[in-house]
Amino acid sequence: MCGRYSLLCIDNLCGRFRVMDPSIGFRSHFNIAPGSTNPVIVAHERAEVVLMQWGLVPHWAKDIKTSNRPINARAGSLAEKPMFRDLLRSKRCLVPASGFYEWKLDGRRKIPFYIHLTDDPVFAFAGLYDIWHNPAGTLLQTYTIITTAANSLMASIHDRMPVILRPDDEVRWISRDPLPAEEIHQMLVPRPVGDMEAYPVSDRVNSPSVDDKMLIEPLSGLRNV
């Protein structure tokens, strides 16, 4: 799964994702947690950056207080589940990120690891989004991050990982056209091990209120564990 992530170096968000006018004030965050509001890239007439809450609320939900708000969606079952099936056809999005956290079970302890790409300071998770309207007409835009089976690097930490799209697939993923099932399958795969690095970090990340650069620093100088 993916329960926390970071987003850094977003000064070049416009160029990196070919967005014409990302006029959203958003500073770097090192510990993005569910329920927070973050930049998401969608395609309408053109690619746009929109602030959305992490944790999907389906448009048909009657009460958001009691609605299940999944932060992740399994790639293999997207086409089967009503909550995701229609979104897969028409509401795909990019979730900009710089890295993510996962916790490795070690006896009774859970050790947090930070995982990132070695050659790309900002990349994109594959995501889905929806728009909920309350009776008064207020809009709530929310998103979920798609996960897939872990690659061999992640497998020693957790059995799932977020889908990190290849740059060549990003524009196609958010296109307004339906995607063939085979093309979706080819996109929603684990990122190759050689592209990634993982290392243990401070358990200060366990608290969503902690948000500083030290969270992504290797614990005791350890890297590639």
Catalytic residues: 2, 102
Cα(30)–Cα(155) distance, rounded to whole angstroms? 23
Q: Are β-strands 99-106 and 37-43 bridged in parallel, bridged antiparallel, or unpaired?
A: unpaired
Rg of the chain in Å (alpha carbons): 17
Cα(204)–Cα(111) distance, rounded to whole angstroms? 11
Q: For residues 182-208, b (16+ Cβ closer than 10 Å) or e, as one string?
A: eebeebbebbeeebbbbbbbbeebeee
Identify the sign of the CA torsion 27, 121, 156, 200: negative
Cα(165)–Cα(146) distance, rounded to whole angstroms? 10
Whether the CB-CB separation of 74 and 147 falls below 8 Å is answered with yes
